[in-house]
Amino acid sequence: MKDYIYNSIKKGIINGLSIILIMAKVIIPCYIAIEFIKHLGLIEIISKFFRPFMGWFGLPGEAALGLIAGYLINLYAAIAILTPLNLSTKDITIMALMLGISHALPVETPVTQKTGVNGWAMLLVRVVFSLISGVLLNLLWKLL
């Protein structure tokens, strides 16, 4: 009995550390990249370019970078990009909802496919519902 508790904690710590290692590899380069982009004044340009699209979700244009990073890489990359952008609670919550539904697509789509379910259908469902929920939560937030 004691053994099983000890082993569980030990394995949990090892897994936790390996996840942090994966995280660090993604977060540090993304963080540095976004600080450079900010410093070079590119945020304005990116923000302007994505504003019409991100407006659907009530988000500032530059949040598109976090959305793209989350979809294609993973949530940690998205967080590394969103943190320096200093978004409001509302913006972060909407981003979190959209990214929570749909993220790390190149990794997770093959996983869903291996269960025997059509991976492409699942991919479509996730992206579509991610976008729809973003629009919905933005509207709900305005009502409340």
Partner 1 sequence: MEIIITALKDSFSLILKLFIIILPLTISYEFLKHKQSQIEKIRFSIFGITHNGLVPLITGIIIGLTYGAGIIIHSIRTSNINKKEAFLILLFLSVCHAMIEDTLIFVVIGANGFILIAFRFALAIILTYLMYKSKLLKS
Q: Where along the sequence are the contacts to partner 1 (CB under 8 A)?
A: 4, 7-9, 11-13, 15-16, 19-20, 23-24, 27-28, 31-32, 34-36, 39, 74-76, 79-80, 82-84, 87-89, 92-93, 95-97, 99-101, 104, 107-108, 111-112, 114-118, 122, 125-126, 129, 133, 137
Q: How near is the Cβ of 47 to partner 1 at its closest, in Å?
A: 19
| Closest CB to partner 1 among residues 21, 52 | 21
Counting Cβ atoms within 10 Å, is residue 62 exposed (0-12), middle (13-18) or buried (19+)?
buried
Q: How near is the Cβ of 138 to partner 1 at its closest, in Å?
A: 12
CA 119 from centroid of its chain's CA atoms: 20
How far, in Å, CA of 89 to CA of 76, rounded?
18
| Closest CB to partner 1 among residues 28, 45 | 28
With H, G, I as helix, E, B as strand and everything else as coil, classify residue 60. coil
| Closest CB to partner 1 among residues 57, 133 | 133
| Closest CB to partner 1 among residues 52, 117 | 117
CA distances from 8 to 12, 21, 78 (A): 6, 20, 30
The residue whose two tokens read 């996730």 is 126
Q: How near is the Cβ of 55 to partner 1 at its closest, in Å?
A: 20
How far, in Å, CA of 116 to CA of 20, rounded?
31
Nearest to 61 by CA among 47, 75, 80: 47
Q: How near is the Cβ of 56 to partner 1 at its closest, in Å?
A: 17
Q: How near is the Cβ of 65 to partner 1 at its closest, in Å?
A: 15
